Amino acid sequence: MAQTRTAIRYAKAVLDLAKDQNTAEVVHADMKSIANAVAASTDLKDILLSAVVPSATKKSALLAVFTGLDTLSINLIDTLITNKRIAILGTVAEQYNELYNEGEGKQVATVTTAVSLTDELNAKVLAKVKELTGKEAEILSVVDESILGGFILRVGDMQYDASIANKLNQLKKEFTLN
């Protein structure tokens, strides 16, 4: 919890600076790639969390992985290294993206399906999310074969579970209670 609060503070500071320098969208693209890479790579997470790997090595590894970063993004990495908080880089990037999207009136809708979404279904989901919330949305598609079919839609604190696995679990509960 304390790490999240710290990450929010760093993210707010970077967003404020990015807005002042009219680079908020560029930094948003940087933060999206950082957040996605940290979430996807256990090796990258391990390097960031490691107390054995020197800070200079962490910085050079990050700059090698993320080429073409905006100066604000590089300065964020430098600041986190200086303050010995580089382990929260992924969380800072996620928080920045949330704050940026909130400021732009956008939101992230997470759609979990058993198979990947087609472009047509993606467009239908975007339209439905806009109809339900009144805001533009960005789709984050997650494939999870364990739901068997259907979908799970998460937007902010709202969740709609229309998965086959959920329906089977409901049936199972009904039969065991009666």
Domain count, the chain: 2
Domain that holds residue 144: 106-177
Whether 81 and 117 map to the same domain: the answer is: no
Residue 14: C-alpha distances to residues 33, 81, 105 (Å):
16, 15, 19
Identify the domain boundary among 102, 136, 169: 102
Contact 87, 49 (CB under 8 A): yes
* Of 118, 37, 24, the residue nearest 72 (C-alpha): 24
Residue 6 and residue 92 share a domain: yes
- Give yes or no for residue 164 having a pLDDT over 90: no
pLDDT score of 91: 92
Q: Which of 102, 117, 152 is the last residue of a domain?
A: 102
| Burial (0-12, 13-18, 19+ Cβ within 10 Å), 98 | middle
Predicted confidence at residue 77, as pLDDT, reads 93
Q: For residue 55, which amino acid is it?
A: S
Statement to judge: residues 98 and 170 lie in one domain:
no
pLDDT digits (tens, 9 = 90+) for 11-70: 999 999 999 999 999 999 999 999 888 888 889 999 999 989 999 999 998 999 998 899
Same-domain status, 162 and 88: no
Compare 92 and 106 and report the one with higher pLDDT: 92
Give residue 142's pLDDT. Answer: 81
The mean per-residue pLDDT over the stretch 70-78 comes to 93
Same-domain pairing of 114 and 169: yes
Query: Which residue has better confidence, 3 or 66?
Result: 66
Looking only at the bridges linking them, the beta strands covering 158-161 and 151-155 are antiparallel
The predicted model gives 165-171 an average pLDDT of 87
The confidence score (pLDDT) of residue 12 equals 95
The string of pLDDT tens digits covering residues 134-150 is 888 888 888 888 888 88
pTM of the predicted structure, to 2 decimals? 0.71
Q: Which one of 61, 81, 102 terminates a domain? A: 102
pLDDT of residue 39: 85
Element (H, E) at 97: helix 89-103
pLDDT at 178: 61
Q: 71-82 and 2-20 helices cross at what angle (nearest 10)?
A: 150
